[in-house]
Amino acid sequence: MPVVGKYAIVLNGKNEPVCVIQNKTVEIMPFKNVSAEHAYLEGEGDRSYEYWRKVHEKFFAQECEEDLDTTFTENTEVVCETFEKVD
């Protein structure tokens, strides 16, 4: 679980370090409560809320089914974090 203030090393697809980040916020909330601002800050796709919901709903549904043996719903809790690149 991410912790506010904690530092982490970000790895690329080859498992090589690319930068250091520091967690700024960590929130646990139902999927349906994730904001458009958070979706934008994640920076994926066209940065729209619609894009974020589409790809994350698919991802979380698959994770819940395959790894947690449960069904994903709008009320499933997700962890939302923001961070700052340190180095």
Tell me the β-bridge partners of 19.
Answer: 10
The per-residue pLDDT for 30 is 98
Q: What pLDDT is attached to residue 34? A: 97
Give the structural domain span for 23: 4-83
CATH of the domain at 43: 3.10.400.10
SS3 3: coil
- DSSP secondary structure letter of residue 74: T
Cβ(85)–Cβ(20) under 8 Å? yes
| Domains: count for the chain | 1
3-class SS string, 12-59: CCCCCEEEEEEEEEEEEEEHHHCCHHHHHHHCCCCCCHHHHHHHHHHH
- For the segment 47-80, what is each residue's pLDDT rounded down to a tens digit? 999 999 999 999 999 999 999 999 999 999 999 9
Q: Is the pTM of this model over 0.75?
A: yes
Over the stretch 32-55, which tens digit does the pLDDT of each residue have?
A: 999 999 999 998 999 999 999 999
pLDDT score at 87: 81
